[in-house]
Structure 1
Amino acid sequence: MYDRRLAIESVAHVGPGQFILGFECPEIAAQCRPGHFVMISVAESIDPVLRRPMAIYRVLRDASNTPYGFTLLIEVVGCGTALLEQKSIGDHLEVLGPLGVPFSLPTKDEASGEHLLVMGGVGSAPFPLVAEELLKSGHRVRAFVGARTAEALLCVDDFRELGVPVEVATDDGSEGFHGYVVHPLQGYLESEDPANAVLYACGPTPMMRAVHEIAIIRNLPLQVSFEAPMACGIGVCLSCVVRVDAGDYGDWRYVRCCREGPVFDSRRLVWQ
């Protein structure tokens, strides 16, 4: 974990209220794993005082494959992300990371079935890096991408560039399946019945809960990257606690999403 004041090296607007910020920092980039996040300041002043959690989107590598930087895929949802959208190349921000528990991905020698990535909205951000790592290890990957509208879809081009099959769903039917992304997932599982499939999900909580229910019914493993409000990102403030099964100690207990997560086995979580 490093705390660095970094200059913004690149800015790219990819959709309405959606943009990518790029930073150079070999120390952070070298430690980034799929599912990690950073805490980033949103202004050079102390207002707003709190940093915002952002998933690592891509790790930047030079010609020798050495990591030298990273990017963040951000969607405007409040005053903090609105301030970030106004940033320009050369502006400086405080960045703490990488943080959290990343996804647990199989190595090249570990046998597994198809890896199914299910995402909604800006919850798509960590999955291009997940897909990239899985493909490097020789595993099969398929993506299910959901959003409110076609304009709001994220990462579809990333997956296609990687050669990953993509199924799209939009709430308004403007692209792909008309409805929630869990329906194409369910349809694929029913029609193909992939042996030993492994599920991953990130997005709105109701979507992840629906994927969890599918995983339980079909007895498939599922890792979710859970989103919770975070003030510090290092486990001190306790603002991001989530409920998990307490096992022998009772019905449930709280754990910190920033330290014990954000990635959890979905069976550990108490879905409310």
Structure 2
Amino acid sequence: MFQENLIVGSNENVTGDYYLMHLEIGEREEETAIASAAKPGQFVQVRVHEGTAPLLRRPFTFYKARKRFFEILYKISGEGTRALCRYNKGERVDVVGPLGNGFTLVPDVDEHLLVAGGSGLASMYLLSRMCGRSPAKTVLLLGAQNKDDVPMRRSVAQDFDGLAIPIQVWTNDGSLGNTGFVTKALEKILQDAAKMRFAVYASGPIGMLRKVAELTTPFGIPTQISLEQHIACGLGVCEGCVVKTKDDSGSGYAYRKVCSDGPVFDPAIFEGYWDEIVEP
């Protein structure tokens, strides 16, 4: 974990309430320690305002990371993200990271299935690049409520076009791409190719993650989900982001910290406790 005072290289409005912020050391040929250590699914804690309102840092997953910079894709959803979107090129932001446990590449599979819901797309670019290093095919399934909640626009669309992976877009109201929940696409793929070896990685709303787990469990498919909760310290100290899960024996329950035990989990530990997880 590192703390760095980084320069805003850009803070682009991608579409609607979605923004893409580029953070770097500056003009010098220096690497940022945070970006150099970043892994898909991990996150940073950003001080979004120099004053006391809001007081706490805000968590953002890595969208893109290189040695000299990283980017975060975020949606305005409250006071913190509203403050962040006002930053201009050249201003400085205090950042701590990388934090948490990220995605792990599953070996010996035929296909990596990435399932994202709305802002869950934020962790999928870096994950797609990691999956691309394996011989297996990578497919991205992107779901949203409507076309305005699909952040696959402008530079984000260009990034994913550069990966040259198949992408299916699903909207609940049919205003863009296919009509229906994105988990419908996942279900069809799993049913139509039952003999293939899949690995599933998902990020998005709690309801979507639960459905993903219900679909993959009967097939014994390795599955990882990125769970979003309100995170305060980001270090596992304040215990403000705990969720109830199965314990390691499977016979009882335990409380796990999303910021330090996660945010990426095996969804099997939530069996029987999904109803107790609150959507942030």
User: TM-score range with shorter-chain normalisation?
Assistant: over 0.9
Structure 1 gap ranges (5+): 61-66
Question: What residue in structure 2 maps to residue 58 of structure 1?
Answer: 64
SS at match of 1:210: helix
CA separation of 1:254/1:214 partners in 2, compared to 1, >3 Å: closer, same or farther? same
Question: What residue in structure 2 maps to residue 147 of structure 1?
Answer: 144
CA RMSD, aligned part only? 1.5
CA separation of 1:151/1:249 partners in 2, compared to 1, >3 Å: closer, same or farther? closer
Q: Is the deviation greater in 242-251 or in 11-20?
A: 242-251
- Post-superposition Cα deviations, 1:126-176, rounded to whole Å, max 9, x if no partner, equal 111111111123331001001111232134723332111011111111112
Q: Does the alignment pair 1:129 with 2:130?
A: no
CA separation of 1:194/1:147 partners in 2, compared to 1, >3 Å: closer, same or farther? farther
Distance 2:190 2:235 in 1: 38
1:169-188 superposed matches below 5 A = 169-188=170-189
Question: What residue in structure 1 maps to residue 85 of structure 2?
Answer: 85
Aligned length: 263
Question: What residue in structure 1 maps to residue 51 of structure 2?
Answer: 45
**TM score, norm. by length of structure 2:** 0.90
Percent identity of the aligned residues? 34
Question: What residue in structure 1 maps to residue 28 of structure 2?
Answer: none
CA separation of 1:59/1:249 partners in 2, compared to 1, >3 Å: closer, same or farther? closer
Q: Is the 8 A contact 1:159 1:165 kept in 2?
A: no
Q: Is the 8 A contact 1:160 1:166 kept in 2?
A: no
1:164-203 superposed matches below 5 A = 164-193=165-194, 195-203=196-204
Q: Is the 8 A contact 1:39 1:52 kept in 2?
A: yes
Q: Is the 8 A contact 1:6 1:24 kept in 2?
A: yes
**TM score, norm. by length of structure 1:** 0.92
Deviation at 1:31, TM superposition (A): 0.2
Distance 1:249 1:181 in 2: 30
Question: What residue in structure 2 maps to residue 265 of structure 1?
Answer: 266
User: Could you list the runs of 4 or more consecutive aligned residues of structure 1 that deviate by over 4 angstroms after TM superposition?
Assistant: none
Question: What residue in structure 2 maps to residue 163 of structure 1?
Answer: 164
CA separation of 1:78/1:90 partners in 2, compared to 1, >3 Å: closer, same or farther? same
Question: What residue in structure 1 maps to residue 39 of structure 2?
Answer: 33
SS at match of 2:149: coil
Distance 1:175 1:267 in 2: 32
Distance 1:94 1:177 in 2: 40
